[in-house]
Structure 1
Amino acid sequence: MTAASESSPLLPIADSPNESGAKKLSPTAFRIILGCLYANVFLASVDSTMVATLLGKMASDLDSQEHISWVATSYLLSCAAFQPLFGKISDVFGRKPVILFSTVCFFFGCLMSGVGDNLTYLIVGRMITGIGGGGFFTLATISVSDLVPTRERGLYQGYINIFFHAGSASGGVLAGIIDAYFGWKWAFLIQVPVCFITGLAVYLWFELPRKADANDDKTHWENFVSLDWTGAALLVTSLLSLMIISGTNGSELPVSSYRWKGLAAYTVVGFVAFYFWERKTDQPIIPVKMLHNQTILASSLNCWFTCMNMFSSLFYLPFYWTSVKNVSPLDCGYRLIPSSLLASFTSVFCGWMIKKTSRYRSLHILAGWCMFLGSGILYLSTKDDSSFRDSIISLPLRYGSASNITTILVAMISAVPQSEQALVTSIQYGFRSTGSTMGVSLASALMQYILRGTLDSNFDALKHVKLPDGWTAEMVKAAKLQALESPGYAFGDAIPAVIHNAIVSSYSTACHGVFLFLIGTGLASLICIYFTEENDLDKTK
């Protein structure tokens, strides 16, 4: 019997069309394995949506509006660094130990985020949590690829997305309820016992033999040190540099300063060095040589822009409701439910259609147009929109991104021989993790730039109007600085209407700048789809 590759089913199911002599996995064992994987994906998804919903509240409580995006990007940065490595590490040590390691990181990251009393502690905790979350998502996809044939992967990826979007739908509501009764820190602390339970379930019942490998004659340590740590270091330091130059305000790190220019130069040089290093190394974390394939390149860029769009909208749509409309975290969660449920249905529908028809191009093109037009619809939102309109305004966008993510993986693995499907899965996760990190970082930088400029303009205009009774020019200046740190400041009882309007208008303009960014990424994704070729999924690679 031939050795299993990460892209072919590791253990055939009872009705799998693999070699008749292969050991079969019982349906019960198959369901237990999937249950463990889906539980982890659900937990990581709940965590992400909780943070997105509470971002504005955390910024106000910690007086750190200009730096609050680091709570999101620190999580995404550690995901970007470790996601591409987890597949290869699990080849060395097995899937189960790596899932347990991810569970431990997630456990302690949530605990640290919940007990910390300052922004730095929270950011470090989120970074540790991101290592675990990255492992949950990566190992779910890889383990499913071990178990099911190519034609059915779209369907099972859809099942994974059900739990992802179910977590997204419930996370916002749970965050709002927890914040209302216990405070936002308990949104992290409540995940600690849940994480312990899922980790215990994995330890007791998750059994998936490590795949056969050409390097089985080497020790675990020799295989571990042979991983592409140089590539990982170049990637994470380049992303970190990008986060610093995009996530700091002009007063702390002026664009004209040598430090800013040095970091900007390193960002460019680091990404270029990463590309050339990945071309020459034997075990790249992102095998860039395969990007010479038109479909792989187009799909990778599509995944990049889609994740930029998806994660930026995930974080900044609730932030818009909070900072412009004074919507509570609980109400933000309620307004996210319809789009999350639609995304769950879409993932399964697309997977089922691909399995039934062995075709995906029509679904792909429709997804691209929905994402592009949905971003435009989001830009048309106003602070006077009803809660019902808020609940449905992101439906086209969520359909497009959910459908796109499902079909991208199918397009990529169908474009290469079966022996190379694990490599393109690695490429997809590399572009997915870097796209989400860069998307949130760039959206944050754009919002901060517009917010500062608009606040300056709006408050300068107040010099030509009569100030409210009891207010002096110094108080107005202090109000502007406070508005930069706390998006909820405008809704204080003692804030005059003229000050309130100046602040809310500034946040609205800044958030709409982010929505313009979503339109740009949606258009880029749509263009990439037209360069993606459709391959016959029934053809044996």
Structure 2
Amino acid sequence: MSSSGEEEALQVPKPVDYGSISAPELPSPADEKLPRSVFLIILISLFIYVFLSALDSTMVATLLGVIASDMNELENVSWVAASYLLSCAAFQPLFGKISDIFGRKPIVQICAILFAIGCAMCGITTSFWSLVAGRFITGIGGGGLNAMASITVSDIVSKRQRGLYQGYLNIFFHCGAASGGVIAGVFERLFGWRSAFLVQVPVCLICIFLTQLYFQLPKSSVGNGMQGHGYWKKLAHIDYTGSFILVSALLALMLAASFAGQEQDSSPLLFRGLVLYSVFGLVSFYYYDLKVASQPIIPIRLLHNRTVLASSLCCWFISMNLFTCLFYLPFYWSAVKNLSPLECGMRLILGSFAASVSSMVAGYIIRQSGRYWRQQLYTGIVVVLGSLLVFSSRRNDSVILDSLVNVPLRYGTSSVITILLIAMISSVKSNEQALVTSIQYGFRSTGSTLGVSLASALLQFSLRGQLNSRFAKLSDIPEKWVGKLDLIKNSALADPSYTFTGAPQFARNAILDSYDYSCHIVFGFLIVTGLLSLVSICFIEDHDLESDK
């Protein structure tokens, strides 16, 4: 269906000035379409939602060991983290279209309620698989809150101001991500690990209350949803078939990636089946969306837009790059340099600060210049250089070098992601801004999960080969260890800390060298994804934002 036909079917008012408040109106409360107090309360609520979502997603990493010990589920504990990522990646793309139908306010509230329910389930359950289900529900809500925050900000600020406000959102995101482990550790020590989930519930409920009282958008905004339609008629406009095909295909893809990353040798048929279904599902979704659906959940024709497609691919590769670095640079420090989680976390602080600052800088430059392409190209180059810098890491680097090594990459990736959103919403019509925002978040969440899983598969494959090769060259093996080399290798594969806690002296250098080499294979993956993102940037068009101040 054409864009005009879709707009007529939804019967939404055509937005004025991109459905937003223009920049000259923002500083003066007297001239605003929204009262200044309402505008600020909406922003503060969105900031808190983003903070909680980021906090929740990172604090689980700190609690996994405690949860595994308390519930005696060491073999399955990875599903506590994986279930969140799966639901987040699968459902995030749906929120743009659904919020166009029902309006931003009810969808924000539903996402917040799901987030609160999921956290409450995690805090009170005594069953491990109920905990996993709680994390799955939390992922739907948390992923939705992230996407809806960006979509809603686009409704109330102009395109030229948009990057600056995305920078504000990113500050809260990075603060939440950086403090998640610390807050989880404090509450776990004082009140038990369940309290780290429960403490988020009242905060979320307060934001839901504020949203109910104060959330409103300019009357001309498409974010107010379909006008003149009842609840049941709005439900009839949802593309249930397309939503099911897309969600199930993405779930299959994420599960396959998780199995690949965890090297599930015991279930090759399941892995192949998931891959085949995900490919079949995505191809079917493309055909159904393009040829059959009258009001598709994500109009696939938007990906025929050169800027939207290039921006989406760039976002995909950038997310792979960023999350691979966030997961495997600390892993390198831990496995090769024997650093504690706290020491690794301290070395990431400067990178988190750089990521927050870069979003603000990118938004400010866009507001001042009204252009974004050159800045995006420069920061894309910074990502490649930052990836090379991470690749140059050595086990004898000082604390200062370790702290600085991820700063350029974090600065570049955060800036690129911020500018990508501006590029995407500036290349489509006003009633499509929520849809392309959902597309970006869909590519971000799938890219991050796929990136970490591919990096894990690379690490495992390389590590196994390196251990076999280096152990074959060992000499002067003590007599008591003859015939036990396979046991040592399997222990080294299963536990990165085995080098320092139980490995015999004659094998330690071989294990350390294997981990060092394999981690640098992963760092080489950073360079590849950085280059692919830079190539994608070259195909993005530069739209003039001068007319939208």
Matched residue pairs, number? 533
CA contact (8 A) 1:358 1:537 kept: yes
Match of 1:158 among 161, 164, 167: 167
State the partner residue of 2:288: 277
2:17, 2:282 → 1: CA distance? 28
Comparing 59-68 with 310-319, which one deviates more in the overlay? 59-68
CA contact (8 A) 1:66 1:247 kept: no
Counterpart mapping for 1:29-428 below 5 A: 29-51=38-60, 70-113=79-122, 123-175=132-184, 187-208=196-217, 215-248=226-259, 252-253=264-265, 257-280=268-291, 281-428=293-440
Secondary structure in 2 aligned to 1:490? helix
Comparing 361-370 with 89-98, which one deviates more in the overlay? 89-98
1:205, 1:282 → 2: CA distance? 34
TM-score by length of 2: 0.85
Query: Are residues 154 and 122 of structure 1, via their aligned partners in 2, closer, same or farther at CA, if it must alter by over 3 Å?
Result: same
CA contact (8 A) 1:65 1:486 kept: no
Aligned pair 1:9/2:19, yes or no?
Answer: yes
2:254, 2:476 → 1: CA distance? 39
Query: Are residues 195 and 501 of structure 1, via their aligned partners in 2, closer, same or farther at CA, if it must alter by over 3 Å?
Result: farther
How far has the Cα of 1:126 moved from its partner?
2.8
Secondary structure in 2 aligned to 1:9? coil
* Cα deviation 1:112-167 (Å, max 9, x = unaligned): 44566787555433322211111211111111111111211111111111111222
Secondary structure in 2 aligned to 1:248? helix
Aligned pair 1:486/2:495, yes or no?
Answer: yes
* Cα deviation 1:476-515 (Å, max 9, x = unaligned): 54444344443334332x4433444444444333332222
1:332, 1:192 → 2: CA distance? 29
CA contact (8 A) 2:87 2:251 kept: no
Query: Are residues 500 and 6 of structure 1, via their aligned partners in 2, closer, same or farther at CA, if it must alter by over 3 Å?
Result: farther
State the partner residue of 1:26: 35
2:92, 2:524 → 1: CA distance? 29
* Letter in structure 2 aligned against 1:437: T
How far has the Cα of 1:537 moved from its partner?
0.6
Comparing 364-373 with 200-209, which one deviates more in the overlay? 200-209
Secondary structure in 1 aligned to 2:543? coil
CA contact (8 A) 1:172 1:332 kept: no
CA contact (8 A) 2:23 2:160 kept: no
Aligned pair 1:529/2:540, yes or no?
Answer: no
CA contact (8 A) 1:73 1:440 kept: no
How far has the Cα of 1:275 moved from its partner?
2.0
1:452, 1:59 → 2: CA distance? 26
1:190, 1:386 → 2: CA distance? 38
Which segments of 5 or more consecutive residues in structure 2 lack a partner in the other structure? 1-11
How far has the Cα of 1:27 moved from its partner?
0.8
* Letter in structure 2 aligned against 1:88: K
How far has the Cα of 1:219 moved from its partner?
3.0
Query: Are residues 53 and 46 of structure 1, via their aligned partners in 2, closer, same or farther at CA, if it must alter by over 3 Å?
Result: same
1:197, 1:338 → 2: CA distance? 32
Query: Are residues 46 and 153 of structure 1, via their aligned partners in 2, closer, same or farther at CA, if it must alter by over 3 Å?
Result: same
How far has the Cα of 1:399 moved from its partner?
1.0
Comparing 191-200 with 354-363, which one deviates more in the overlay? 191-200
How far has the Cα of 1:521 moved from its partner?
0.9
How far has the Cα of 1:364 moved from its partner?
0.4
How far has the Cα of 1:417 moved from its partner?
3.4
CA contact (8 A) 1:413 1:424 kept: yes
2:238, 2:179 → 1: CA distance? 37
Query: Are residues 366 and 154 of structure 1, via their aligned partners in 2, closer, same or farther at CA, if it must alter by over 3 Å?
Result: same
1:418, 1:10 → 2: CA distance? 9
2:289, 2:107 → 1: CA distance? 24
1:148, 1:264 → 2: CA distance? 41
Comparing 370-379 with 413-422, which one deviates more in the overlay? 413-422
Secondary structure in 2 aligned to 1:538? coil
Query: Are residues 342 and 77 of structure 1, via their aligned partners in 2, closer, same or farther at CA, if it must alter by over 3 Å?
Result: same
Query: Are residues 158 and 477 of structure 1, via their aligned partners in 2, closer, same or farther at CA, if it must alter by over 3 Å?
Result: same
Comparing 172-181 with 273-282, which one deviates more in the overlay? 172-181
CA contact (8 A) 1:94 1:209 kept: no
* Letter in structure 2 aligned against 1:84: P
Query: Are residues 403 and 6 of structure 1, via their aligned partners in 2, closer, same or farther at CA, if it must alter by over 3 Å?
Result: farther
CA contact (8 A) 2:97 2:435 kept: no
* Letter in structure 1 aligned against 2:430: Q
1:178, 1:204 → 2: CA distance? 31
Query: Are residues 499 and 278 of structure 1, via their aligned partners in 2, closer, same or farther at CA, if it must alter by over 3 Å?
Result: farther
How far has the Cα of 1:528 moved from its partner?
0.9
2:48, 2:127 → 1: CA distance? 30
1:62, 1:500 → 2: CA distance? 33
* Letter in structure 2 aligned against 1:85: L
1:82, 1:420 → 2: CA distance? 18
2:90, 2:177 → 1: CA distance? 23
How far has the Cα of 1:294 moved from its partner?
1.8
* Letter in structure 1 aligned against 2:158: P
Query: Are residues 214 and 142 of structure 1, via their aligned partners in 2, closer, same or farther at CA, if it must alter by over 3 Å?
Result: closer
CA contact (8 A) 2:94 2:298 kept: no
